[in-house]
Amino acid sequence: MGIKRIGKHLLLNRWRVRRAFPQQALANIEKAIKASEATHAGQIRFVVEGALDGVPLFRNQPARARAIDVFGHLRVWDTAQSNGVLIYLLLADRDVEIVADRGLNEKVQQAEWEKICRLMETEFRAKNFEGGVLKGIAAGTKVLAKHFPASDAQRNELPDKPVVL
């Protein structure tokens, strides 16, 4: 565990999260998720966590492990076709992780999700947070539409509203 990482996490406060993702940006992300889900049968959740604190931080929990925890906590796996996707951003590390449910893991290689993560991280390095998320959602939409095309019977199984932790 590096002192630099601890410092970044301890110093990143809610104000910085709100600056990167003001209410209007979160509303735009929610609209993008809703529009995306109209084109496929998958379910997308977006979560931004400013920083780790307490035990996860001092145990040096990687963003991937935290994303898996959040995936379970938010019950993203609880969809009829096992096609939920979590896009998780750990802002302090500027690390994006995409966790997909087993129905998608059978059809989509992890490398395809990683490509979307790197696209988003490039935008975040340029301080284009909202744009980075919107590009990630657009890229994920293509993947989901390919493997879970829209149907007349589809319904919205998970909330579209972004979660800020």
Judged by DSSP in three states, 52 sits in coil
The pLDDT tens digits of the residues spanning 100-134 come to 999 898 899 999 999 999 999 999 999 999 999 99
Range of 104's domain? 5-164
Report the alpha-carbon distance of residue 148 to residue 143 in Å, rounded: 8
The whole-model pTM stands at 0.90
Q: Which of 119, 52, 134 is nearest to 92 (CA)?
A: 52
The pLDDT tens digits of the residues spanning 16-61 come to 889 899 999 999 999 999 999 999 989 999 999 988 887 777 677 8
Residue 62 CB partners (closer than 8 Å, separation 6+): none
Asked if pLDDT for residue 1 goes beyond 70, the answer is: no
Mean pLDDT is lowest, of 21-25, 87-91, 119-123, 154-158, for 154-158
CATH of the domain at 62: 3.10.310.50
What is the distance of C-alpha 70 from the center of its chain? 10
Q: How many domains does the chain have?
A: 1
The pLDDT tens digits of the residues spanning 53-82 come to 877 776 778 899 999 999 999 999 988 888
**151 — pLDDT class (breaks 50, 70, 90):** confident
Give how far Cα 50 sits from Cα of 53, 65, 79, 108, 127, Å: 10, 16, 27, 28, 15
How many residues are recorded in the chain? Answer: 165
- The residue with greater pLDDT, 51 or 160, is 160
